[in-house]
Structure 1
């Protein structure tokens, strides 16, 4: 039977635990926790839509300030959480995706400080805040996100150390902030060899076992449809779309047309891709002798559409080539991908056009653009059977009377008529759409091709950078004996838009002063992509190729990883046990003093108390009188009432300095 004495220790322990979890936060520790949580949240906020990120950040600051002295009522906290969830879901159009989930996490972390009153609350806040840096990598895996995530995680771990000191009742002897940060980074450095071994040597599979959920809000990019005026967001997006490295000569910028979706269906407003045309085999092509061998690194697009230099001759395994030589990948491009391809300009491209394909390439909706139809019929009567003359006449008209601009009004019902006869100003969507309609009305098969045009050469890395702002739309017309021929009406009126990218002209406005900085920055980002994000199973197997090992098999990788992992774990154990033994700076100084006496044969035995050791040294060397008072001060601080002092840091510093200075 249990007695009251038997029950006392558990009850006391529970009471002590309850008291520790309800320890109130002092203002400095609360500030530490808020700053650390904000640092963890920052990289995630930068990956959200700008307006949403600003709203969540501002709300977090307001909540932290409002709850500095008093907690908000429960009903107000519940209303605030519901309103924030509703705002995030409405901004995401009530679509679920990994960006929506990350935004909800950021929103909940921003209002979490409403519960920040005790050590337990602070530990809960920091624990949840550590999810934010890892969630950031679901949206971006760049070096800036990594650096910000490491800073946030370091501050959070340092704040947790301070919470542990506060909870133990030893807050007065807590390490200063800079020493806490150094301690966290020391732990990171201890585990770094094992982490690097796992990254470089742990065998990787060729394809992932699971996919990453798609975004709820799509990024601006190429799609299966195009409406004049709908590309403004894309053409103002300066983020990279692809980087291409040529093995051998590279084409001139005027020939760098990166072919994407080919649009053949027109409803009077929007051009779309024909789904049934996608199922047909690729059209026959006679390529020119000059071929281009290159490797593309595509940025994530959350789509399966990819591009290729016009026209591809060989494509990677697994990609699907449509009848119009538009490429699609088997998997969604939600990560960085690398593709090796060859392309060459066409000499004859589908020289024989089948009747049903001709009919589709001439189809126009009824009741639209009467002035354009009338002009096309007039040109046909004047040109007879000379299709090439009509093609050149339209280009000459555009070249003489039209201007290039991104500032255009929204089109009405007769969008082509408005563009050709009233506005005569627009960008590539307007030019290519109107040109194809005009050609079809004149009886010439035509279609719209979308993709990218041009690129900026990076001299530091010897590669070409194509940005999303280089998105472009051009036309293809079918001419007897030649087949499909590329015609770019935008280049006729604004060749600098095609042959000089927006980035080129932007740096030119500053006299070229920013060009080296931009090139070096992108070259460094490309290096990060190659050596970190692009390190896949194939590159892992070729890891030791510079040393003469052509290919590493799975067994070899496992053996190498096992050897390096054992060494890394041994390194970790040695450092952690050593750090555990000498974590106290007073004890560390005492051990070093002992080592100095040990060199004279007067070292302290492991079982010998400090006072007995000092007496033995004094007996062996009567002149050694300084060790006794030092030993007494050490024993008093270490084992007597000094260990519990709340105000004695200056005395401790003096004792440590005295132990360090003393020489036998």
Structure 2
């Protein structure tokens, strides 16, 4: 197979390599592109590769215009626009792949190269993970390789030589990249991904139907990372509060009518006690304004510049705008707290309401409990304990797949299925509480976490999504009740989550070593966390902190610009000084001949400092021939012209490099040197 590829003409070989690089660049976006776009891109790239291998002519412009018109229509039908992120990326992929069918000249190749660079950058609209960054680094080296290869002369220069040159280019550019990364001012909206870059992210919802949170149990992606300043709390105390759901229509739970509740006396009224916990949260993009903190935070979390947060009457913290990027903030929470009205107020009626016509057997159960002679005059705490005893002793189980619930979800849980995930249990519990005229509501968020022993961060995954209940008690306010902890104590205490089915590779690795998959995941997540902390979360605040460390008292973004300009000027002066020194110390003609000797020595043509360019030209001609247009002919002619420039040309005025020598030096870079 390799011999067949090397036997292909240079145009065909270079085209196949270019198509391979394009496919690599487009691969991470397959899940984000419309199905027809991915299929079209694959078909066009395969077709173009077949044309290159077979030496067939490329399609005419009429076919390309027809394909372009059809794809524009398909883009419009898919996105209902030709503008915006998703439609723009779709059209960019279409244009890149269709342009490969026009590779007739070097100009066409350059258009493909730079469209490839744009497509490579568009991958970061959808993911900025370490894996995507690494794969795009390989894509960058591939595009640089084909760009260098396109500037090489006729013949079949090895791709390894072009790849080596591209690698050196990338390596030399790294200091510049690092300086720009550290000091280039991050000014919105010029810095960052588009605001719709995180649309469609999975996670908690602002409403809940029974069964929706169970779907998140299959999602092992990270929701947030926690770094505690001191000793961490117990796992059973790690409740990260999210949306609070109080309005129920029989099918779906929604947030409370807060304005009405506040008007009638239901406010946060938070009172904390004991020692606080100080910690830092790294929140993955959610496209939601929810600020996840441990229950309960009395003070606003310290958010990055541009964000503000406020506590809602239901104790949830909301930011002034959604989190479309990775964000890191500090918070302080008190595990011992009390909130809500201590005495009955009219606004609590909302948390007793139930829609008519739903769950008749649950309503009858509530009447039976209320009518029990042993429970006459029982307070709310006693009634809650009775219901928890029923969960504890009634054969109820915690499962990820309880089946599809019908219209009367609470009836099915209490009397028929007796199994469910956390939202099944919490919803049935709250409905029963309300049926007994006890104010109750559902709180969603995350519970528990896993300590990553590699970097010391606690990892909270989407699969840690949880739903629990709050009931109102006179003199105490809202009290957390987690009925899932009664059905499955290990879910809350030791945080033993339901096992998600593994793939074939994961099963094979687990069979080989039970702890191997766990260790690999810990190391990979620690690496991703470092990437998030030091790269994605390198904000303007960190830039200003860097300036403080080097002596600025109150730095600003203008100071960043001054430092950046100073470094650029200093680098330019150092480069100019080195160039002048190098020219003064070395004869440019001798240096160019030495570079040629070094290249020929690698090809087996040995020489000494006394070997003249003419002797080298004869060696090259004897080994590679002097056929018209061959690489050997071009190389030997270049060596003869180098000798002629030295001994036949008049010296340049003022000691400057003669124009003939500058031309030979530029041609040296384009020659196909033998390997």
* SS, match of residue 338 in structure 2: strand
Partner Cα distance (1:216, 1:96) in 2:
17
Partner Cα distance (1:419, 1:503) in 2:
21
Residues 1:632 and 2:614 aligned together: yes
1:308 to 255, 268, 293: 293
Residues 1:157 and 2:144 aligned together: yes
- Tell me by how many angstroms 1:546 deviates: 6.3
Partner Cα distance (1:43, 1:412) in 2:
39
Partner of 1:147: 134
Partner Cα distance (2:82, 2:352) in 1:
38
Please show how residues 182-331 of structure 1 align to structure 2 within 5 Å: 182-205=164-187, 212-215=194-197, 217-277=199-259, 280=262, 283-316=268-301, 318-331=308-321
- Tell me by how many angstroms 1:405 deviates: 1.7
Number of positions where the alignment pairs a residue of Structure 1 with one of Structure 2? 594
Question: 1:521-575 CA deviation, whole Å, 9 max, x = no partner?
Answer: 1111111111111111221222266678776455654443233222333466689
- Tell me by how many angstroms 1:121 deviates: 3.4
* SS, match of residue 312 in structure 1: coil
Partner of 1:471: 465
1:536 to 523, 536, 539: 539
Cα–Cα, structure 1 residues 120 and 287, in superposed 2: closer, same or farther, change >3 Å?
Answer: same
- Tell me by how many angstroms 1:262 deviates: 0.4
Partner of 2:386: 393
Tell me if the contact between 1:206 and 1:536 (Cα under 8 Å) persists in the aligned partners.
no
Partner of 2:528: 525
Partner of 1:443: 437
Tell me if the contact between 1:474 and 1:487 (Cα under 8 Å) persists in the aligned partners.
yes
Cα–Cα, structure 1 residues 134 and 399, in superposed 2: closer, same or farther, change >3 Å?
Answer: same
Which sits farther off after the overlay, 115-124 or 250-259? 115-124
Partner Cα distance (2:550, 2:574) in 1:
26
Partner of 1:662: none
Cα–Cα, structure 1 residues 239 and 217, in superposed 2: closer, same or farther, change >3 Å?
Answer: same
Tell me if the contact between 1:67 and 1:114 (Cα under 8 Å) persists in the aligned partners.
no
Which sits farther off after the overlay, 294-303 or 69-78? 69-78
Partner Cα distance (2:610, 2:590) in 1:
21
Partner of 2:649: none
Please show how residues 279-428 of structure 1 align to structure 2 within 5 Å: 280=262, 283-316=268-301, 318-353=308-343, 355-382=345-372, 383-386=375-378, 387-400=380-393, 401-428=395-422
Residues 1:48 and 2:42 aligned together: no
Partner Cα distance (2:106, 2:635) in 1:
30
Tell me if the contact between 2:34 and 2:78 (Cα under 8 Å) persists in the aligned partners.
no
Partner Cα distance (1:426, 1:575) in 2:
73
Partner Cα distance (1:406, 1:585) in 2:
73
* SS, match of residue 212 in structure 2: coil
Cα–Cα, structure 1 residues 411 and 184, in superposed 2: closer, same or farther, change >3 Å?
Answer: same
Structure 2 residue runs of 5 or longer lacking an equivalent are 1-8, 303-307, 501-505, 600-606, 644-675
Partner Cα distance (1:124, 1:562) in 2:
32
Tell me if the contact between 1:373 and 1:441 (Cα under 8 Å) persists in the aligned partners.
yes
Partner Cα distance (1:215, 1:408) in 2:
35
- Tell me by how many angstroms 1:393 deviates: 1.9
* SS, match of residue 648 in structure 1: helix
Partner of 1:9: none
Question: 1:131-168 CA deviation, whole Å, 9 max, x = no partner?
Answer: 11111122222222222222212222221233333xxx
Residues 1:131 and 2:118 aligned together: yes
Residues 1:179 and 2:173 aligned together: no
Cα–Cα, structure 1 residues 59 and 202, in superposed 2: closer, same or farther, change >3 Å?
Answer: same
Structure 1 residue runs of 5 or longer lacking an equivalent are 1-23, 594-624, 660-664
Residues 1:35 and 2:20 aligned together: yes
Partner of 1:515: 518
Cα–Cα, structure 1 residues 84 and 418, in superposed 2: closer, same or farther, change >3 Å?
Answer: farther
Partner Cα distance (2:260, 2:78) in 1:
34
- Tell me by how many angstroms 1:106 deviates: 3.1
Which sits farther off after the overlay, 229-238 or 433-442? 229-238
Partner Cα distance (2:626, 2:493) in 1:
78
Partner Cα distance (1:503, 1:134) in 2:
37
- Tell me by how many angstroms 1:479 deviates: 1.3
Cα–Cα, structure 1 residues 410 and 189, in superposed 2: closer, same or farther, change >3 Å?
Answer: same
2:490 to 489, 493, 496: 496
* SS, match of residue 384 in structure 2: helix
Residues 1:102 and 2:89 aligned together: yes
- Tell me by how many angstroms 1:485 deviates: 0.9
Cα–Cα, structure 1 residues 430 and 63, in superposed 2: closer, same or farther, change >3 Å?
Answer: farther
Which sits farther off after the overlay, 102-111 or 338-347? 102-111
Partner Cα distance (2:310, 2:354) in 1:
29
Partner Cα distance (1:419, 1:82) in 2:
55
Cα–Cα, structure 1 residues 125 and 428, in superposed 2: closer, same or farther, change >3 Å?
Answer: same
